[in-house]
Structure 1
Amino acid sequence: MTARWAALPVLLVAVFVTTLDFYVANLAVPSIRAGLRASDADVQFVIAGYGLAYAAGLIVSGRLGDLFGHRRVFAAGLALFTLASAACGLADSPGMLVTARVAQGVAAALLAPQVLTLLGLLYQGADRARAFGWYGTAVGLAGVSGQVLGGLLVAADPLGLGWRACFLVNVPVGVAALAVLGRLLPRGGGTSGRDLDLAGAGLVAAGLVAVVLPLVEGREQGWPWWTWCCLAAAAPILGAFVRRQRRLAATGRVPLLDLDVFRDRAFTWGLVAVGLLFGTSAGLSFVLALYLQEGLGLGPLAAGVVCTALNAGFLVASLRPHRSGALVLVLGLALLCHVVAGAATPSRVALALLVTGAGMGLVMSPLLSSVLSGVRPERTGAAAGVLGTVQEAGGVLGGSITGAMFFGTLDGFGTMDGGWRAATLAGLSVLVVAALGVLAHAARGTPVPARFHVKQDCRPDRPDGVEC
């Protein structure tokens, strides 16, 4: 038991640094633009390149963990993330920075499914719920730290590094984790690399890029023809991927993604709820960044302080997770709509965000844990890859749909005070609907199958090599 809990901080380090990089990069964009003389497209790809590579690589990396062992792939991902962070900090051109950010996204994709899989394999029953609670805490802490740490690093300019310090801060953390993971993480068997479906990997990556890239870049570039071509091509590409996986399974070969995981309705509907939850989080962050600064006239630092209330609520509530968080989330968003529609002040917005963040913190870890709880151990790598992909894709879709509603309403009303209020309420209305979807799933309940809680599931000779 002691050895297993000693492994938890190493896994949470990976969660922390990969989440942190979403926030610090956003806050560093103005300094990056000035320091590297980067264009608008350059800085957009600094953000989008990370998320795009992350989403495209998750299913593949889940299968890599099944084949080569989850500890081995985790170590490779952490090493690559550390090196890519150093490359970001040392970049001397926009092209080099974008390339390093894509490498960071690939590394994050390697890490995410292994973390979820190892949490599921190492901990059972109440211990699993506790471990996933700490997972949610790490996400919340990274959110709070990203808001504050990014601004402080750029403002303090340690050693004259400026925005580069936002990326270089990952290096000592990664090196320290790499130094101890060999002693703390269990040796996972894995099978053979000969079963890796490279063609399938190419298809799923191309399909996800075809969905994510136009959603990230389309509105900023006025929806040119290539964005519609990409979206139109996504369905046939992903359809070809599904047909290939079925064909491989029918001929006795091992597919990249075991489609049987979707036969469990709890897993499938849980994925929908996860996508809605992460879409709500991403959409809310997008709306707040605009409303607080442009609508209420706050400066970047003051807006960051207000936004910290959201992550602070998440962080505190994630220590005592509960499915009732879905209801708290809906109530928090409803309160935020009420504040925005009336006489909004920063303190009132912060209070509503505190409640909203608490709802997210309460519901996230039970939701993630329940999604994976019914998956057979030999399929957890593939399932975790799908789960991570849904998280990332849900965030992109949530931000894009909310942004479309926001800017569409703003174009109709103009940028006067009433326009910002109407646009924010339009964006929040999308998030309320998504949160109601999460609430509907939580109300159904997702019991954890007893067969994965019995003691023999943690036996020393289990085929995945986990030592209990």
Structure 2
Amino acid sequence: MTTDPIVVPPAPTDTGSSLRHRAFLVVVALQFALIIAMGAAGIALPAVQEGLDASDGEIQWFAALFQLGFALVLVLGGRLGDLFGTRRLLLIGFGLFVGATVLGAVAPNIAVVLLARLVQGIAGGIASPQLLAVIQRTFVGDTRTRAFAVFMTVAASAFMVGQLVSGALISSDVLGWGWRWAFLAFLPLGFVTWPLASRLLPPDPVRVGGRVDVVGSVVLAVASLLVLFPLIQGQSAGWPLWLLGLLVAALPALAAFVAVERRLVRRGAEPLVDPALFGLRSFRVGNVIGVVTGLLSFAVVVFVTLTIQYGFDRSALEAAALTAPIPFANMFGSLAAAPLLRTMGRTTIAVGAVLTAVAAVVVLVTLSFGSDVLEPFHLVPGLVLLGFALGISISATVAITLADVPEVSAGSASGVQSTVLQLASAVGIAVYGIVFFGVVGDVDTEASYLDGLGATMWLTAGLCVVQFVLYPLLPRHTAGRPHAIPVADPDNLIIPAFEPDAAGGHHGGR
């Protein structure tokens, strides 16, 4: 049996207390540009639907395809960066993202827009691991921790800027381009940052050997589509048997994916997902909780945006302003997760679940005021609490899921965990859409949209109950001595470390 040569990456260069390293400045600029585009697209859902006469199902595809494309290539993108160079893959991914954005901006119909969103997601999944790899390679110790904190703050700020800028341009209908500003608002920054990155990013070390799991990636994509397509199209199509058949067919497709990965392991090759990781209880149960967390982590904001613009008949700019605090609340929730995990262990997941359920109840109580009294800004306190609680839930889930993974498998496990969250987010948009549009129906009134949003809050509370029931299945952990905080997921960067006890078990925590 032959093995691929091992390439050891260069040791990070600690730049002391300064974050003015040119590679980091480029990474921050690229991250800002990518996240602006994500925020801009999210606020444009009603404008896209009205401008292109899209169906409810097509709007769900618009929201879900980015998450799907991102998830399907995230692990593969990291592996390609290891094999062919971080700089090269970052420039390819970001260039592809700019190209897909141009395609979306000039699209003549919804089909081309959806293709652009899928390609955007794929490009983001290629670029994102490279951004993190540059930080890992450039800094060590406390400087790395500060770099990740800045990186996360930039992401939250960029999402808000993307929402507000896109919302203002769409609401004002500048030049009569309407929904196209969801794509156009990003392009000037994209056209500037790519040439800068090509000039300023340091060259990669020479890389040799290695393979990528293309077959596993394709099989996982097929299985994911077999789940998403029926869930999104089923309601509008009346749930015909052939759609239910596709949903059932996802099970053998997932089994085929597992078989492909196991065969690669037996051959000594590197799979997309190493099945051995699921032998760890924390990784196995943590990913199940991650699925539940992912289902509600992104979908809620999508349907809040639709309710504000359709139900309350408010502009895209007003919707952007009202939802702008959510990413910052999510960031502060992620920061709060670190001390909670050190003192409470796995119970932090329960704290996040309870707070998320409380936020859902706050929104439900607010909705009970009725359409005659309710104004959209009344929803903001509940939504901010929801964002904060989800920040705790996601970060805690990531940290505990990866707590027992051996260092040699850390990169692979982190990629798998991130992929699970992203795929679950795409499925969550479909599941929440079934509930939301099922309640709204054909009645286009403020009351019907408020009822639809209320139904999604009940679904959110139900998923929180599932999280609470599952968390005791995780092993107990004891907090280890704090050291450089590692990155586990591009969207959740502040992750404290845990150490198993010397006997191989776990103690402490709850």
Indicate if the aligned counterparts of 1:83 and 1:171 stay in contact, CA closer than 8 A. no
Aligned counterpart in structure 2 of residue 243 of structure 1, from 246, 259, 263: 259
Which residue number corresponds to residue 306 of structure 1?
Answer: 322
Aligned counterpart in structure 2 of residue 170 of structure 1, from 158, 164, 186: 186
Separation of aligned partners in 2, 1:441 and 1:9: 39
Which residue number corresponds to residue 464 of structure 1?
Answer: none
> Offset of 1:372 from its aligned partner?
4.7
After superposition, where does 1:2-81 map in structure 2 within 5 Å? Answer: 2=15, 5=19, 6=21, 7-29=23-45, 31-32=47-48, 45-81=61-97
User: Residues 188-213 of structure 1, C-alpha deviation per residue, up to 9 Å, x if partnerless?
Assistant: 665525x2233223212211222223
Indicate if the aligned counterparts of 1:66 and 1:381 stay in contact, CA closer than 8 A. no
Distance 1:363 1:275, change over 3 A: same
User: Residues 385-404 of structure 1, C-alpha deviation per residue, up to 9 Å, x if partnerless?
Assistant: 32332222221232333333
Separation of aligned partners in 2, 1:186 and 1:163: 39
Answering whether residue 461 of structure 2 is matched by residue 432 of structure 1, we say yes
Separation of aligned partners in 1, 2:167 and 2:330: 20
Separation of aligned partners in 2, 1:208 and 1:165: 30
SS of structure 1 residue aligned to 2:44: helix
Which residue number corresponds to residue 366 of structure 2?
Answer: 339
Which residue number corresponds to residue 165 of structure 2?
Answer: 149
**One-letter amino acid matched to 2:427:** L
Answering whether residue 275 of structure 2 is matched by residue 259 of structure 1, we say yes
Indicate if the aligned counterparts of 1:370 and 1:447 stay in contact, CA closer than 8 A. no
**One-letter amino acid matched to 2:458:** S
Distance 1:355 1:453, change over 3 A: closer
Separation of aligned partners in 2, 1:264 and 1:126: 30
Distance 1:346 1:417, change over 3 A: closer
Separation of aligned partners in 1, 2:202 and 2:411: 16
Indicate if the aligned counterparts of 2:171 and 2:315 stay in contact, CA closer than 8 A. no
Separation of aligned partners in 1, 2:127 and 2:61: 22
**One-letter amino acid matched to 2:429:** G
User: Residues 243-287 of structure 1, C-alpha deviation per residue, up to 9 Å, x if partnerless?
Assistant: 122122112233333223333333333333443333223232244
Distance 1:207 1:272, change over 3 A: same
Which residue number corresponds to residue 403 of structure 1?
Answer: 433
Indicate if the aligned counterparts of 1:151 and 1:301 stay in contact, CA closer than 8 A. yes
Aligned counterpart in structure 1 of residue 288 of structure 2, from 262, 272, 280: 272
Percent identical across equivalent pairs?
A: 27
Which residue number corresponds to residue 212 of structure 1?
Answer: 228
Separation of aligned partners in 2, 1:10 and 1:42: 35
TM-score normalised by the chain length of structure 1: 0.78
After superposition, where does 1:125-136 map in structure 2 within 5 Å? Answer: 130-136=146-152
> Offset of 1:428 from its aligned partner?
1.0
Which residue number corresponds to residue 5 of structure 2?
Answer: none
- Larger mean Cα displacement after TM superposition, 213-222 or 114-123: 114-123
**One-letter amino acid matched to 1:248:** L
**One-letter amino acid matched to 1:434:** L
> Offset of 1:69 from its aligned partner?
3.7
Which residue number corresponds to residue 180 of structure 1?
Answer: 197
RMSD value over aligned CA atoms?
4.0
User: Residues 277-324 of structure 1, C-alpha deviation per residue, up to 9 Å, x if partnerless?
Assistant: 332232322442344455556555444433234334335555665446
**One-letter amino acid matched to 1:394:** A
User: Residues 104-146 of structure 1, C-alpha deviation per residue, up to 9 Å, x if partnerless?
Assistant: 1220121234445555666666666555544543443343223
Distance 1:127 1:148, change over 3 A: same
Separation of aligned partners in 1, 2:369 and 2:475: 34
Indicate if the aligned counterparts of 2:290 and 2:420 stay in contact, CA closer than 8 A. yes
SS of structure 2 residue aligned to 1:219: helix
Indicate if the aligned counterparts of 1:402 and 1:428 stay in contact, CA closer than 8 A. no
TM-score normalised by the chain length of structure 2: 0.73
Separation of aligned partners in 2, 1:356 and 1:40: 25
Separation of aligned partners in 2, 1:172 and 1:447: 48
Separation of aligned partners in 1, 2:118 and 2:357: 35
SS of structure 2 residue aligned to 1:429: helix
Distance 1:275 1:113, change over 3 A: farther
Structure 1 unpaired stretches of 5+: 455-468
> Offset of 1:76 from its aligned partner?
1.9
SS of structure 2 residue aligned to 1:73: helix
Indicate if the aligned counterparts of 2:261 and 2:274 stay in contact, CA closer than 8 A. yes
Indicate if the aligned counterparts of 1:141 and 1:315 stay in contact, CA closer than 8 A. no
